Amino acid sequence: MLVQVAKDSDFTIHNLPWGIFSVPGESPRVGMAIGDQILDMVAVAELELFDFDVSVFYEDKLNPFIALGKSVTNKARTQVQGWLKSKDSPLAGKPELFVPQAEATMHLPISIGDYTDFYSSIEHATNVGRMFRDPENALLPNWRHLPVGYHGRSSSIIESGVPIRRPKGQTKPPTSDTPIYGPSKRLDFELEMGFVIGKDSELGQQVSTDEAEDYIFGLALFNDWSARDIQKWEYVPLGPFLGKSFASSLAPWIVTLEALEPFRTAGPAQDPAVLPYLASRGPANYNIQLEVGITPKNGTEQVVSRSNFGYMYWSMRQQLAHHTVNGCNVRVGDLMASGTISGKDESSYGSMLEISKGGKQPFPMNDGSTRSFLDDGDTVTMRGWGEAGDIRVGFGEVSAEILPASPE
């Protein structure tokens, strides 16, 4: 190995995710994570080792590279994988090809044309339904028949590390007959996984579950911040709006679907049976461990959730097949998010709304304080990784601090 990689690193030789980085005085460009280093793909391109147009590595977003198609992008990844392992590597003896991650700035990895958020964890949907609607009929009649989703706001998707301001809007306290205006008092995180579209479809074309993975380039951690009090007042009848559109945070590294092959797993049994266009052959979920920590201002991190991407009731294949069944086209760089990922156990809930039971059961923190929802100054950090024998593939982190609401 040309780079020493810690055994517990997210960025092992089995991973090699793609991202956009920069160093002081230079423009953002494409990089690949290996251990605690970034392989500068512009520097590699100048060695004239690839048989495709390497100008894509000079871009400040991954879209042009992704658009080359999986036959090219997968080959590039496996070529680098081989070079990193070979004693006779063309990369050997060239330390200038590598940049320490600690010295780099990471950027939003893709230009996001459209963004769709799903609602695909049955545990999360049930928990929220009990709190927001009828406890005896938590799931709406359509939920087990289709992957529920809504079109979100791509302009407010930000890279990891960018702080967010507490949103303001209308809320209706239980004690008031009329709504009030002001900062959200129930700011929340949502533990999600985003997947990036890697291939254009045509308007009127349906992408089947069998074809879906050809259209998925890779996955990244995603925090879909939520203002629960704004959301509760506004969501009937058209669904999420201002309670969601103020910010969502995307991790800097996109892990390819191919790197996740060792972690394939079957999802939950679907009852009733799905309609034929949603039927899927073979394991379509992924056993990815997930974790959420909250760090108060000047405090230490408290892990508040440990979940797993494998819990999802609706798979990515089914989400994409349903998204396009009406002929809706998708484009390279489109982002689709899983929806909050929760499990059956309380320790695996993917939002403070569930963890605190709607604010009724505050969560104890390391410093003696409690959290029903998020405080100003809190930093929320999400992590994810898969392990199978000696193979480890991780997603790094997505993190952001909460700032006070902007002054009037």
Which residue of the set 14, 107, 124, 322 is catalytic?
124
Whether the Cβ atoms of residue 320 and residue 278 lie closer than 8 Å to each other: no
Q: Is 124 a catalytic residue?
A: yes
DSSP string covering 130-150: HHHS-GGG-S-TTTTTS--EE
d(CA 323, CA 227): 26
Pairing of strands 363-364, 335-337: unpaired
Phi, psi of 243 (to 5 degrees): -70, -10
Amino acid code (one letter) for 251: A
Tell me the CA distances in angstroms from 385 to 116, 128, 286, 382, one per residue in order: 23, 26, 10, 11
Q: How much helix, strand and coil, in percent to the nearest 5, is found in the chain? A: 25, 30, 50
d(CA 256, CA 253): 10
User: Helices H, strands E: what count in the chain?
Assistant: 8, 26
Phi, psi of 21 (to 5 degrees): -135, 165
Q: Which residues have a Cβ under 8 Å from the Cβ of 270 and sit 6 or more positions away?
A: 144, 313
Closest listed residue to residue 215, CA positions, set 123, 333, 88: 333
HSE at residue 335, side-chain half, CA atoms within 13 A, is: 33
Closest listed residue to residue 252, CA positions, set 60, 403, 14, 53: 60
Tokens for 397, please give them: 């982190």
Q: Which residues have a Cβ under 8 Å from the Cβ of 141 and sit 6 or more positions away?
A: none
Collapsing DSSP to helix, strand or coil, 295 comes out as strand
d(CA 314, CA 124): 12
**C-alpha torsion angle, residues 308, 311, 312, 317 (rounded to 10):** 80
Catalytic machinery residues = 124
